Amino acid sequence: MDELVLHLGMPKTGSSALQVFLARNRDALLARGVDYLPIGEFQLGVKGRITAGNGAFLARTLLASDSPARIDEPERHRAEFEAAVANSSARIGVVSSELLIDARQEEIGPLIVGLRERGMAVKALYYIRRHDQFLASAYMQQVKRHGYTDLPETYVRIAYKQHPFLKYHSFYRYLCELFRSGNVICRIYDGAVMQGSGLFHDFLKALGVSAEGLALEVPDVNTSLSPKEVAIMLLINRYHPRMQFSDFVVENAVTSGTMKAGIEHNILPAALLAEVEEYFREENRLMAQEYFGRETLFGARPYSEPAGTAERPELGLEDLITFFGGLMVRYDQRIVELDQRIVELGKVIRLLRNEMHGAKAAD
């Protein structure tokens, strides 16, 4: 392997969809010299499920010791990664997980050095997104999968200063120290998703690989909810639903077409957006100039004041029937599947009993 690309995310830039695309196209990509290594949560990607990528377990061994996601005994997962790299005959290896964005320098640094010493170029590839869209999408993620119950303004006012990677220029310079400047690839998420499967094309373009002949149609993964679905989840989260419940909600949202991946989120008031933009203005300017060779990092932001920012949107009877009816149908399907499994298990138990009785009679 000549080159290993670590896809770092960022979070909320289509990482799950990319991981499904890469997993499902692994054989075709191998024929082009690219190996999306079959480690970590690779099989979840093949199944089209929400995933933290094939680098999920490796990344979790690189997190801070106080991180709840950290794996404290890394040997097995590091060995799995090392074996996959050693056994691959591809020119380029790809390891993807948005969890890599939070890897401690003291942990990931030696990993990069060790790969370099084996004659490999190690590259970082990541996407950045307009801050208002990142924060809105991150808020929805907290609501749908982590039981959050407050309105978006509350979340954003706390969150926008808490993620170091949102200071795009400072984070770029940090990655240059780790990977060396020529090995850092930054892409703009907002432009890539504007056209169909553009994100997949853009990712492969960054690798220098053609998308021709690949299966570009993948299911929506980890799609955002509509404002009304968010409003319902805010109320339901008071009762601490399991994550599987919110997964059903997301799957129903995809089926009903209420929201699509890549759509513009408009849930924050103008004053708060202006505050966020001002906070990141200089970072964005420096990143635009140093990396992209231009004066502005993102295009102009379309804006209209959202209705119901301070209050939840009004919910009608049809909204409630659509939401809860979809869940009831989904649970009904699960009950039918469970019933079929119980019937099959009963057959197996009866067969075993008959065999045991037959054996006793023979004795």
Residue 363: band (very low, low, confident or very high) from pLDDT cuts 50, 70, 90:
low
| Alpha helix positions (H), the chain | 15-24, 26-30, 42-46, 56-60, 75-87, 105-117, 131-146, 152-159, 168-179, 189-192, 198-207, 227-236, 243-256, 270-287, 317-362
What is residue 99's DSSP assignment?
A: G
Within this chain, do residues 323 and 178 fall inside the same structural domain, yes or no? no
**Residues 6+ positions from 79 with CB-CB distance below 8 Å:** none
Among 205, 233, 256, the domain-final residue is: 256
Within this chain, do residues 219 and 324 fall inside the same structural domain, yes or no? no
| pLDDT for 308 | 43
Residue 284 lies in a domain: no
What angle do the packed helices 317-362 and 243-256 form, to 10 degrees? 120
Pairing assessment for the beta strands 121-128 and 3-9 based on DSSP bridges: parallel
| pLDDT for 172 | 98
Mean pLDDT of 316-343: 84
| pLDDT for 159 | 92
pLDDT-wise least confident of 27-36, 130-139, 162-171, 311-320: 311-320
Query: Which of 227, 22, 14, 293 has its CA nearest to residue 129?
Result: 14
Mean pLDDT of 259-269: 65
Within this chain, do residues 69 and 161 fall inside the same structural domain, yes or no? yes
Within this chain, do residues 208 and 353 fall inside the same structural domain, yes or no? no
DSSP SS3 for 303 = coil
Within this chain, do residues 74 and 165 fall inside the same structural domain, yes or no? yes
Task: Please report which helix (H) or strand (E) contains residue 35, including its range.
Answer: strand 34-36
Residue 269 lies in a domain: no
Q: Residue 19 and residue 44: Cα distance in Å, rounded?
A: 9
Query: Which of 140, 121, 176, 166 has its CA nearest to residue 298?
Result: 166
Within this chain, do residues 191 and 338 fall inside the same structural domain, yes or no? no
Q: Residue 37 and residue 81: Cα distance in Å, rounded?
A: 8
Residue 359 lies in a domain: yes
| pLDDT for 8 | 96
pLDDT higher than threshold 50 for residue 307: no
- The sign of the dihedral angle between the CA atoms of 263, 266, 268, 271 is positive
Q: Residue 64 and residue 338: Cα distance in Å, rounded?
A: 40
Residue 164 lies in a domain: yes
| pLDDT for 309 | 42
Residue-number span of the structural domain to which 67 is assigned: 3-256
| pLDDT for 312 | 61
Residue that has been written with the tokens 């029937």 in this structure: 321
What is the tens place of the pLDDT at every residue in 199-215?
999 999 999 998 888 88
C-alpha Rg value of the chain to the nearest Å: 23
Residue 93 lies in a domain: yes
Within this chain, do residues 224 and 333 fall inside the same structural domain, yes or no? no
- The sign of the dihedral angle between the CA atoms of 135, 137, 143, 149 is positive
CATH number where 205 lies: 3.40.50
Q: Residue 100 and residue 328: Cα distance in Å, rounded?
A: 37
Residue 334 lies in a domain: yes
| pLDDT for 197 | 60
Residue that wins the pLDDT comparison between 328 and 105: 105
Residue 186 lies in a domain: yes
Domains of the chain: total: 2
Mean pLDDT of 178-199: 85
pLDDT higher than threshold 60 for residue 303: no
What angle do the packed helices 227-236 and 131-146 form, to 10 degrees? 40
Average pLDDT, the chain: 87
What is the tens place of the pLDDT at every residue in 78-94?
999 999 999 999 999 99
pLDDT higher than threshold 60 for residue 20: yes
